[in-house]
Amino acid sequence: MSVEKSTKAARGTAQCENTNINLLKANDYVAEIIKAEMAKSKTLLINVTSSAGSGKTTLMQKTAERLKDKLTMAVMVGDLETERDADRIRESGIQALQIVTGGICHLEAQMIHQVLPEYKLNEIDLLFIENVGNLVCPASFDLGEDYRVTLMATTEGDDKPKKYPRMFLTSDMMLVSKCDLLPYLPFSVDAVVKDARDVNHELEVIEISALNGDGIDEWCDWLLDKVDKKQNS
């Protein structure tokens, strides 16, 4: 590579880094506005992340079925295309709005803030953000959430926490999902928990199956405790 080409490449890299820094600063500014609005309404905001197909939407459905008579709940759903997941969640009897990103692989705080007026926050105890299925990009974007919960499906393999460390470092809870399939898969819960806690020693872990109900009571109890603390803070 010539000196001229090398210099241009370096400038391009610097410009890209500066763009990323500016983008994240702008995102964090809006995230702080969201946090203030959630604090005012006493609404607990949970950002649910995972790879595609880890069971986020099914978990939202089962959580709604268990808690909709105890809490007022709603969901924002992020996907590249279609409203299929929001339709599924609405069938569970709670409000759900779809954010179609049009190819963007994550949700940003500005997207969340734009749709907040669609919700009566003063009447909502628990608001979920079902993020785009991706363990990379969503890890960098604060959405103003109180807690970040990441699903780690048994179908993915148990080596993901150290391959995608930022997601697990920035999460408060890891749900090991699809545990009903453990007898049929070469997946070690002990190994995935060890790797995840090597990355983030404060990470809470619950093993769940949305299909047979394992761990769902513990998950719902965790949510109820966090809602109570938010409303009495």
Q: Which domain holds residue 179?
A: 3-231
CB-based contacts of 171: which residues, under 8 Å, 6+ apart? 49, 148, 149, 150, 200, 203
pLDDT value at position 20? 58
Distance CA 101, CA 120 (A): 23
CA dihedral 132, 136, 142, 146 (to 10 degrees): 70
And the tokens for 26? 């702008």
Output the domain CATH number for residue 74: 3.40.50.300
pLDDT value at position 223? 98
pLDDT value at position 18? 57
Distance CA 11, CA 29 (A): 27
State the pLDDT confidence band at 80, using cuts at 50, 70 and 90: low
pLDDT value at position 14? 39
Q: Rounded mean pLDDT of 49-67?
A: 95
pLDDT value at position 11? 34
Core vs surface per residue 148-169: b (16+ CB within 10 A) or e: bbbbbbbebebebbeebbebbe
Q: pLDDT for 165-205, tens place per residue?
A: 999 999 999 999 999 999 999 999 999 999 999 999 999 99
Strands 44-49 and 147-153: parallel
* Domains: count for the chain: 1
Look at residue 17 and give its three-state secondary structure: helix
Q: pLDDT for 134-169, tens place per residue?
A: 999 999 999 999 999 999 999 999 999 999 999 999
Helix axes 216-231, 56-67, angle to 10 degrees: 70
Distance CA 30, CA 180 (A): 39
Q: Which residue has the higher pLDDT, 126 or 100?
A: 126
Q: Rounded mean pLDDT of 204-214?
A: 97
DSSP bridge partners of 148: 47
State the pLDDT confidence band at 86, using cuts at 50, 70 and 90: confident
